[in-house]
Chain A
Amino acid sequence: MPVRLRLMSMRTACLAGAAAMVLTAAACSSSSTSSGSGSSTASSTSSPSSAPTKAGGSITVLESSGYSGAWTTLDPPNNKEGAATQDFMTAIYGQLFELGTGGAIVPDLATGYKFSPDGKTLTINLRQGVTFTDGTPFNAQAVYTNWMRDLGTVGISNGFSSPWPIAELPAPKTAPPGTAEPPAAGVVQVTGPYTIVLHFTAPDGAAIDQLFDNIETWIASPTALTKEGTSFGSNPVGAGPFQVVSNVPNNELIVKKNASYWQTGHPLLDQITFKTVGSDQAAYEAMLANEGQVYENLATNQLLTESAQHFTVENNLGTSPYDLQLNTAVAPFNNPKARQAIYAATNFAPILQHLFGGRYPVTQSFTGPGGICYQPTVPGYQGYDPTLAKQLIAQTGLANTTIQLGTIALQTAQDSMQALATEWEAVGLHVKQSSWPLSGLIAAFEANGGKSWQSMVQTAGAYDPATGVGVAFRFNSHSPFSGVHDPQLDNLLSEAAGSTQLSTRCGFYNQAAEYIAKNYYGPFFFTLAPSNIAVHGVSGPGITTPLASVAVVPTIPWEDVYYNPSSS
């Protein structure tokens, strides 16, 4: 039986189009004017005042499936998503030290620390009278047990390596160079019931900063580790402000107040539900429908603007500036004048204004407003000068070549790259842009011994430049992701990392920033800062007051968060 599709009449087509436009307009207008049952129609500011403190109640925190909402286990040395799931981990385990407002190192399960004069020994004092939620005492032996797992075969098998410079056991002869091995005997010592000591092979002034959001800060109950075995990751037991009620990986984690938490009167909330959402848009709609009270790391600019009409928007303090890496090992950027031309051709202010609403401060170094040693301006930094740029381009013949410019396949990075390319083309340069997912980006860096790439838009720096994807990651000779091979810069960065005095470290980092600027190793953009949104009435650090980000997003101390719906 033949099927004939009837052609639609023009009138019906117009009707369909009109109906579609009406529906879309209605939805868009309702989206911008509606308010969920739990939110207020009052307009919000970026620095709202906190609601009066109120104990009790529960909230739902939405987490993006692309980052913090994806987890498989909550056992620290098996948790490869560690930094992303820091909210869950610190809610369950607490931390030895917290990164507080203004970058303060706040005692939590540890009460203090002390470096030896040579910086090679670190003594940490633990809080007394604390128990895990299963009643096991929290003490130095518990920390030792956990660190042996983290630094030993369990952590190593999951790709973790020590954040500290410690002596390791000798590797087998057949092992490739650089293979991680468990710590040598005596590296970690229990010198008292509540005192633990670390011995380094070199001074490490960043040792405490390196704890933030690293697995070594999350201490699990040794009793539960033994009892639960491989299922510990699904039923974790810690000494943090909350304990697990139910855990469905990649979907929902429900935690309830730890009645025996060491801090009297805390946590303020009775229960938190961490729920995974697929996208910023879905999270925003869920918040409007009152299915969530907090959403972390909202990155979509348009939604940030709209969120301000319904929710509290807290722009936290960024710590990792975007930077433009120039590969000094290959042409054209093995020529300092070519690099200077790039500096002179690049103007980040309009990029920041047009792409990001002027939301973030421009910086000239690898430090951000949320981190230590923040230095927004650097003496001798070559600023935007299109006239000079054209002269240098003519001198170096840069206009005769096509510059390879790459970045990671994330919206923010790609938008920035596109804007840069536009600016460069305006002064006569030719640009070929590429972007890759993480694995492809790594391959691009490593191809041909690191000589296949010319310029990359990346981030450089961390809360402490010596930790994580810090300055050495992008500027040290030995890093496969660096375009710079300069022993003098290596020395400066090494000296900074090894100093235990903050002022000395900052002095070295300032010198490093000036050195980078003087040699035109790579201009810096601005520090992207993650934004958290919350319904009115939810208050706390990172929600109504800014916090520094250690890794992408700040670690919210959930024991200090509360929800007072009557104030909204």
Chain B
Amino acid sequence: MALVQQIQLQREAGARDRARRLTGSPALRVAGRRLLSAIPVLIGVTFLTFSVMSLLPNDSAQAILGLNASPSAVAALNHTLGLDQPFWQRYWHWLVNVLHGNFGTTLEGGSVNHELAIHVPTTLELLLYALVVSVALSVVVAALAARRPNGIADRIILTVSMLGLSTAPYAFAFLLIIVFSVKLTWFPVLSGAVAGPGSFFKNLTLPAAAIGFGLFAIYTRLLRADMVDQMQREDYIVTAKAKGVPPWRVLLRHALRNSLFTLITVVGLNLGGLVGAAAIIETIFQVQGIGNDLITGISNHDVPLIEGITLVFALVTVFGNLLADLAYAVLDPRIRYGSSNS
């Protein structure tokens, strides 16, 4: 009996310890703070977008109905769409609806929720594909470059990465089309529906490459520079070499691991830039994502659609940066267990 009680007491103590560690975990506290601070950020982003769109000279109803429409028809459509209401009233209605999960109606009469539901997954797939491949490749390539600074591999890699930095995604997209679609016919120019792994790779490889090449270039150069710096300046590297650790092991297990912090930071910062790239690339390849919708929405001055897409991109950026912060905790035990220097 005493033994059973003792075991039970130990279990309870263990549970209390785990709970204390959980609630006291700096990583979780950071995540909580980030999520809380995301709320005013999201409101600010949508308010700013709404304000800018309202300030631009516009008559969406006239644009929809065309030059021939009578003034009374334009006024009637404006009223139907709620465009004759004051700015604050429109924004407030939109915000309240969003909090209830309703993103509103596009100026063409469709549901913004529906547009987002069918197109967001495609854009996320595309961006994830571009991001994962560019990060994975940049790690490999940067390690190759950093292994022998100023060697042949290093110079080639730096040249390629400079090309990536210099080439606009839309220009690179057309280059890819000419080589891989027109000449080699390996991939289509116009993306079709993504219905499985086969169609995923077939339809999204070129768009992902167009977006990812520039990212790969940035990540490679930063990672390579950081790793070279680590290898040349850090004492623990000297210690590892002195202990007889093979060079590749020193590079990958020590220098790379510490350099990943830089990479994670840059990846998080770049998430916002992916928005613009996605919009242009999706238009070129006709990928049915929200980037394409955004271009259409801007042309039509479709504020509900633009707001919905902006909110989605803001959410992606916020959560992306949150994941980056949590990744720090995974990589750095000091952050995970709440020690100093986090």
Q: Is the CB of A278 within 8 A of B189?
A: no
Q: Is the CB of B67 within 8 A of A282?
A: no
Q: Tell whether A267 is near chain B: CB-to-CB under 8 Å.
A: no
Q: Tell whether A157 is near chain B: CB-to-CB under 8 Å.
A: yes
Question: Nearest Cβ distance between residue B229 and chain A, in whole angstroms?
Answer: 6
Q: Tell whether B317 is near chain A: CB-to-CB under 8 Å.
A: no
Q: Which residue of A lies closest to B155 (CB)?
A: A12
Q: Tell whether B108 is near chain A: CB-to-CB under 8 Å.
A: yes
Complex interface: stretch among A50-58, A88-96, A286-294, A298-306: A286-294
- A275–B175 alpha-carbon span in the complex (Å): 22
Q: Tell whether A161 is near chain B: CB-to-CB under 8 Å.
A: yes
A159 in complex: contacting residue of B65, B158, B174, CB < 8 Å: B65
Q: Tell whether A42 is near chain B: CB-to-CB under 8 Å.
A: no
Q: Which of B288-302 contact A (CB under 8 A)?
A: 288, 292, 296, 299, 301
Q: Tell whether A106 is near chain B: CB-to-CB under 8 Å.
A: no
Q: Is the CB of B73 within 8 A of A161?
A: yes
Q: Is the CB of B179 within 8 A of A27?
A: yes
Q: Is the CB of B296 within 8 A of A250?
A: yes
- A437–B67 alpha-carbon span in the complex (Å): 12
Q: Is the CB of A66 within 8 A of B299?
A: yes
Question: Nearest Cβ distance between residue B194 and chain A, in whole angstroms?
Answer: 13
- A78–B72 alpha-carbon span in the complex (Å): 18
Per-residue CB proximity of A3-43 to B under 8 Å, as 1/0?
11110100011011001100110010011001011000000
Residues of A within 8 A of B74 (CB): 159
Q: Tell whether B38 is near chain A: CB-to-CB under 8 Å.
A: no
Residues of B within 8 A of A185 (CB): none
Q: Tell whether B62 is near chain A: CB-to-CB under 8 Å.
A: yes
Best-surrounded residue of B110, B167, B183, B224 (most CB of chain A within 10 A): B183
- A8–B72 alpha-carbon span in the complex (Å): 63
B261 in complex: contacting residue of A1, A6, A19, CB < 8 Å: A1
Q: Is the CB of A30 within 8 A of B178?
A: yes
**Given contacts A1-B226, A275-B190, is CB(A156)–CB(B73) below 8 Å?**
yes
Query: Count of chain A residues with Cβ under 8 Å from any Cβ of B?
Result: 68
Complex interface: stretch among B3-11, B75-83, B88-96, B124-132: B75-83
Residues of B within 8 A of A437 (CB): 63, 299
Residues of A within 8 A of B183 (CB): 30, 34
- Across the A-B interface, how many residue pairs have beta carbons closer than 8 Å? 178
Question: Nearest Cβ distance between residue A183 and chain B, in whole angstroms?
Answer: 16
- A159–B181 alpha-carbon span in the complex (Å): 43
Q: Which of B229-271 contact A (CB under 8 A)?
A: 229-230, 258-259, 261-262
Q: Tell whether A439 is near chain B: CB-to-CB under 8 Å.
A: yes
- A553–B296 alpha-carbon span in the complex (Å): 21
Q: Tell whether B68 is near chain A: CB-to-CB under 8 Å.
A: yes
Question: Nearest Cβ distance between residue A207 and chain B, in whole angstroms?
Answer: 17
Q: Is the CB of A439 within 8 A of B301?
A: yes
Q: Which residue of B lies closest to A447 (CB)?
A: B57
Q: Which residue of B lies closest to A408 (CB)?
A: B67
Q: Tell whether B340 is near chain A: CB-to-CB under 8 Å.
A: no
- A20–B164 alpha-carbon span in the complex (Å): 10
Q: Which residue of A lies closest to B106 (CB)?
A: A72
Complex interface: stretch among A110-118, A170-178, A331-339, A395-403: A170-178
**Given contacts A156-B73, A176-B72, A443-B59, is CB(A5)–CB(B284) below 8 Å?**
no
**Given contacts A3-B225, A5-B225, is CB(A65)–CB(B296) below 8 Å?**
yes
**Given contacts A12-B159, A178-B72, is CB(A289)–CB(B189) below 8 Å?**
yes
Per-residue CB proximity of A440-458 to B under 8 Å, as 1/0?
1011000000000000000
Closest CB pairs A-B (n = 3): A159-B65, A278-B283, A16-B162
**A interface, CB within 8 angstroms of B:** 1-6, 8, 12-13, 15-16, 19-20, 23-24, 27, 30-31, 34, 36-37, 65-66, 70, 72-73, 78, 80, 156-161, 175-180, 248, 250-251, 275-279, 281-282, 285-286, 288-292, 436-440, 442-443, 468-469, 473, 481
Q: List 7 A-B contacts (CB under 8 A).
A: A6-B225, A19-B163, A36-B182, A275-B190, A291-B188, A291-B189, A436-B57
